[in-house]
Chain A
Amino acid sequence: AQSVTQLGSHVSVSEGALVLLRCNYSSSVPPYLFWYVQYPNQGLQLLLKYTSAATLVKGINGFEAEFKKSETSFHLTKPSAHMSDEAEYFCAVSEEAAGNKLTFGGGTRVLVKP
């Protein structure tokens, strides 16, 4: 069975500072990993995805994530936070195929301080 753990339900960063959101997964087969962003009362927007190609994945809005098999991690980073980055972020895993059912982590809410 697959599972996802996001460390830290809330993260507060200063504008311009590094954003680091942690995600660890467990999967019995090679995983497909995703990061999504959710703004209040909206659906999910895909930031980036890992599908067994390059381990360093670049996404939209300046975000990137690195797949580390040995650590079963897929942490999300952005070098410089912007006020518009305030949102809820979800890490998710699917097995066997990118379009297969997703298991989500608990989510991390990012607050950006001016």
Chain B
Amino acid sequence: GAVVSQHPSRVICKSGTSVKIECRSLDFQATTMFWYRQFPKQSLMLMATSNEGSKATYEQGVEKDKFLINHASLTLSTLTVTSAHPEDSSFYICSASRQLIDEQYFGPGTRLTVT
């Protein structure tokens, strides 16, 4: 149980375009979902926290107009990178939590390359 999927696993897009990444909790309802980014050979940095039906809470330094997060249902959150640039190339990982007393369950990640 507690499986989280991400789609796509890899995406290549041209500079200036937008790309959407989906995060789904497959066998549980996720009250909270988190989005992290990971640059090569670096650790994970939290970008934002989203609760179903509410606006996402962004970490300091993360542009909310550039990284649009939608958590429309208890099983789906999406991250849209708008007007992507090469510096946005990274590994994006989502996680989901059933409730605060429960741990986070991580998705397999999405590798974004902006050319």
* A98 neighbours in B (Cβ, 8 Å): 100-103
Stretch binding the partner chain, chosen from B14-22, B42-50, B63-71, B80-88: B42-50
> Are B32 and A99 in contact, with the CB atoms below 8 A?
yes
Is A46's beta carbon under 8 Å from chain B?
yes
Please give the distance in Å from B26's CB to the nearest CB on chain A: 14
* A90 neighbours in B (Cβ, 8 Å): 43-44
Q: Please measure, in the bound complex, the distance between the C-alpha atom of A106 and the C-alpha atom of B42, giving whole angstroms.
A: 7
* A44 neighbours in B (Cβ, 8 Å): 44, 93, 95, 106
* A96 neighbours in B (Cβ, 8 Å): 100
The 8 Å CB contact of A99, one of B4, B99, B106, B109, is B99
* B46 neighbours in A (Cβ, 8 Å): 101-103
- Number of B residues near A (Cβ < 8 Å) is 26
Interface residues of B in 61-115 (CB under 8 A from A): 91, 93, 95, 97-104, 106-109, 111
CB nearest neighbor in A for B111:
A41
* B32 neighbours in A (Cβ, 8 Å): 99
Most chain B CB within 10 A, of A102, A103, A105, A107, is at A102
Is A42's beta carbon under 8 Å from chain B?
yes
> Are A99 and B43 in contact, with the CB atoms below 8 A?
no
> Are B108 and A99 in contact, with the CB atoms below 8 A?
no
B interface, CB within 8 angstroms of A: 4, 6, 32, 34, 42-46, 49, 91, 93, 95, 97-104, 106-109, 111
